Structure 1
């Protein structure tokens, strides 16, 4: 059946937003309409109708999702820049540890994993100085999350004394 231009909004309302429509989206609404009706620029009208539908827009949310800015870090030597992450809690081991501290070199991708009993700043700083800095040297930068253990005065003072910048 050929639909006059004046009746196109009624058909779109019925097949997209009505009881039998259910806000099915462009493809399925277009298929349902094309089974029974025809008019010039049918596809364009269905796409416009679905795009302007406030119920569909409310469910779908914004179409353009913002993405975080990515940075390219150039590292010229091993252990120049490291990343630290504390994972856990895990089941307590026989030696009383229930966290893992993961330290990874950006240049070589070499991971070092240490079992620690807690994630307090003093424990993290102690492990970092005695197990990483003593073996591999002091890095220029330490990349870490914004956990309380990395924001504490002890950790900040350790980085200041060692001459390491936090990112």
Structure 2
């Protein structure tokens, strides 16, 4: 039986190719476990604490998993959902109407998005047809969202207490 080492390859995701051809990026088991540990500690110590809600419990939350699992953001989010015991609602593909209906139905407090979905929530007129008031925290990544879009989003969704972006 083969014994895995923390330094063995766990994943071989491909870069986006924005500066050339896409390239395989080796992630070891140690890389991936460390990333999940850092993300979980950051959430617990910095993000959830900003909500000021002592009743926050990952087991009571619903996470919309609409980012593709072949991308490190979607794959990491799926794993974080499993580790934290959060209920995950998996989308086979992103479709705006289903996404908006899922927010209304499952009432997630937190959304983890990419900028095009933040843009949809900010500008698409159909958002007015759904109750999106459960959203309190939004994290967007994989590309910059920009200050103007973030400001416009926060102006539209006054109940959102935390919006962070990173790449």
State the TM-score, normalizing by the size of structure 2.
0.31
Larger Rg: 1
